[in-house]
Structure 1
């Protein structure tokens, strides 16, 4: 189900153009606010004169950000907006101002949470836009409101510098006396790390504890290690009481899709991600911000943006439609865009060629010289034991094929299985105890003496051994 939350066009149940001069907008960060409502913070917003496609023009009553409120608890027919914060009748106001002390093109909210009578917004100060999926921030910061979102303060002391911090975009969750802040570098192409802070100290950056892979370290953002391998864009996280697991939605730029990941704890291990909204069906999709009521439901509702038109839609995802998948590998079956897999030598993906072990696609490497492999990073927990399995077949000329796990960036093999000629797919598996928070999963072959040598791989699975 898709229903327009904000913008104008087919499916618009909120008439935001006529009620609040919001003709086009994006994102839609949602949280249960200090007054018990659902608050919805939007990004760059345009009014009369909007061009009808994408962002802009800037002369079209451009506001960096706006804020809506809703008390609608029945989302079967969409999400109704009760009100928006306005600066005059019929006009949604910009709630977070710009920073005249830096070069800045916009100020965009990325996450929010409430504690008691105060609301907090995590935002990014965007310095410049780059190629698709990339941009540069000046810093990320926290703003707060003590009057239900009507007015906001941006303290200079509550900022994460860029470069120097991977918390330029955020996702915030309040649980167990802490506020958890998941962070990514600027843009959509990085890994995600996690920190936490006592809920009575959200504005005190010195009180934040960063996950190092084995423990929490206070006041040391540079020590944070990834808990989700990239590409993580516009992340939203909740603890879902029905699943009894943490749930994350985000854009995967490589797959041009919104993916769902789960974990038993905020520190992981997080699954590699299942596609729940595909760019082929929803062209130009991005952002995936969970509705707060999804935390106690078997149906997830989330706000998803579309670049063209520049609108925000409410999406419905029954968890029953997403088969349980605890795989820590991204795209282990190669069924969607596979930028998660990198290549040494020559390799890629066979798409619909009838060569797969299951599904339509499989990975391959092929050459007449040197080492050739497919590999990707995965996040693991030091001290915990894991099993990597996968299906491989190879040419009659293969004598030195290897399947396994190694330390990132040339750090040496952790565990591997050697294979030779495999005329039919065979399941290979290795087990290992993690000693570092990241590993590289790989499958490849050495090609010797100018002989045409190849291997095909499919259905890779990395899972904890309970």
Structure 2
């Protein structure tokens, strides 16, 4: 297949967040870090039920979002019927994005169990749910390596909106971050197949546009979007919001910005956190109103969380949830929407990269349990 996939980039020391704190974080009350999260259950892999039922073996990501019927959809990026992307026998049925579903509460003793796959009636091969150029055209003349989901939001009328990245180039020996063409929106009216729309945010020539990797959370009449640069580069964490009925109008998005005196909506975005090497962000509003953010800290290589009283409120310092010592080669941690702020009720879907420094690992997703 010849695709160059993302690499895990970690360093010896974490970013010094306290020394770089912006006014948005200065008001955050200190919080004692909880114990590290613990592994509960591996969810994907060639030896797991999704492989037998839907040919979903090696998987990327595992982004959980609440569906309109209160079930949960799980979005996977590059997916294969083998252990990982270059594992024989080739071709190994490369697909992305793929969606599985579950109506099991993650806190149940047996953990998350997938019960269906998008675009599949019963058992059978789970196809990709939107168009993917697969080392070809994106459908409009731009070369596209693959399409990777960012997040999705579902509405009561059954409409789903998915944010995705159109990948221009993966990591190689010259480029230390992957590059995107753009971040775009796709729509579904049945919760199964998604159509890509003309609403896109193009990356810039220096690969530094801060609106490429998204996470989205609906709250009332607004959808709040947190975004960072592609490739886990050092950069800002931006916050925007858009009315729920205007997601495909790029002019309706409002930035959250600092003018030197105060924060307000409708301004150019200002980073809500000290610049860092942010991995894919995941933000969810819990049932008690607490907002929780998760991401890979590219400096320490750990999955960390922060919490806040609202999307535009001050965020606490990082809490370390999962480290490379606990599970090597981790790169994504996504919050299950049924998590709560009760002790040991934060449920994270943690992805693992298959090969690092000559060592082989599974390309899979594991459910971890921690505390906000």
TM-score when scaled to structure 2?
0.77
User: Which has the higher mean CA deviation after the structures are superposed, 31-40 or 19-28?
Assistant: 31-40
Q: 2:283 aligns with which of 212, 234, 237?
A: 237
Larger Rg belongs to: 1
TM-fit CA distance, 1:30? 0.8
1: CA distance, partners of 2:91 / 2:120? 18
1:291 matches 2:336:
yes
Q: What is the CA distance between 1:176 and its match in structure 2?
A: 2.7
Give the SS at the match of 2:338: helix
Correspondence for 2:187 among 131, 136, 144: 144
1:109-124 superposed matches below 5 A: 109-116=149-156, 117-124=158-165
Match of 2:92 among 60, 63, 80: 60
Mark the runs of 5 or more structure 2 residues left unpaired by the alignment.
1-38, 133-137, 354-360
- For residues 294 and 86 of structure 2, what CA distance do their matches in structure 1 show? 23
CA offsets 1:336-376 (integer angstroms, 9 cap, x no match)? xxxxxxxxxxxxxxxxxxxxxxxxxxxxxxxxxxxxxxxxx
Residue 176 of structure 1: which of 213, 220, 229 is its match?
220
* Counterpart-to-counterpart distance in 2, 1:77 and 1:133: 39
Equivalent position of 1:404 in the other structure: none
Structure 1 segment 414-425 matched on structure 2, within 5 A = none
Do 1:55 and 1:310's aligned partners in 2 also have CA atoms closer than 8 Å?
Answer: no
Is the 1:123–1:140 Cα contact (8 Å) retained in structure 2?
Answer: yes
Tell me, what secondary structure is at the counterpart of 1:292?
coil
The 5 Å alignment of 1:180-191 reads 180-189=224-233, 190-191=235-236
Deviation at 1:142, TM superposition (A): 0.9
- What does residue 350 of structure 1 align with? none
Cα drift, residue 55 of structure 1: 5.8
* Highest RCO, 1 vs 2 (Cα 8 Å, sep ≥ 6): 2
Return the alpha-carbon distance in structure 1 between the equivalents of residues 119 and 96 of structure 2. Answer: 14
* CA gap 1:7/1:133 in 2 versus in 1, 3 angstroms: farther
Q: Take 2:305 and 2:370, find their aligned partners in 1: how far apart are those partners?
A: 10
Establish whether residue 3 from structure 1 lines up as the match of residue 41 from structure 2. yes
Change (3 A) 1:295 1:146: farther
Using structure 1 for the length normalisation, give the TM-score: 0.62
2:244 match: 199
Aligned residues: 305
- SS at the partner of 1:212? strand
- Give the distance between the partners of 1:70 and 1:240, measured in 2 at CA: 18
SS at match of 2:339: helix
Displacement, 1:133? 6.7
2:188 maps to 1:154: no
Unaligned runs of 5+ in 1: 320-466
Aligned with 1:255 (options 300, 310, 320): 300
User: More strand per residue: 1 or 2?
Assistant: 1
Partner secondary structure for residue 91 of structure 1: coil
The verdict on how the C-alpha distance between 1:55 and 1:115 changes in structure 2, with shifts beyond 3 A counting, is farther
1:214-253 CA-to-partner distances (Å, cap 9, x unmatched) read 22127xxxx21111232211111122344x5321110011
User: Residues 145 and 24 from structure 1, CA distance in 2 versus in 1: closer, same or farther, beyond 3 angstroms?
Assistant: same
Counterpart-to-counterpart distance in 2, 1:115 and 1:295? 21
Q: Give the distance between the partners of 1:133 and 1:264, measured in 2 at CA.
A: 36
